[in-house]
Amino acid sequence: MKCCSLPGLDLARLASRLRDGARLMVGQGDYDAYVAHMRATHDGAPVMTQAEFFRAREDARFGVGGERAFRCC
């Protein structure tokens, strides 16, 4: 039996979940989820571009601008 033919096994979905989890572990949020949230709850508010979103997450992660940086230890 091949692993790809197991009933209920969706390798593309598994890979997507693993990728998203890895991004969250290193401080990179999901841009598509951000856009959906902004459109659903902040009607009319400007939405950052993907590059702006990435930079904002990096700045928050490393404490740019006097904000406290994320620390795991």
CB 53 within 8 A of CB 46: no
Query: Residue 34 carries which side chain, given as an amino acid letter?
Result: Y
Q: For the segment 26-65, what is each residue's pLDDT rounded down to a tens digit?
A: 666 788 888 999 999 998 899 999 999 989 888 877 777 7
d(CA 27, CA 70): 8
Q: Mean pLDDT throughout 2-23?
A: 77
Q: Mean pLDDT throughout 12-18?
A: 87
Between 12 and 60, the higher pLDDT residue: 12
Q: Which residues contact 24 (CB under 8 A, 6 or more apart)?
A: 30
d(CA 47, CA 41): 12
- pLDDT at residue 63 in the model: 78
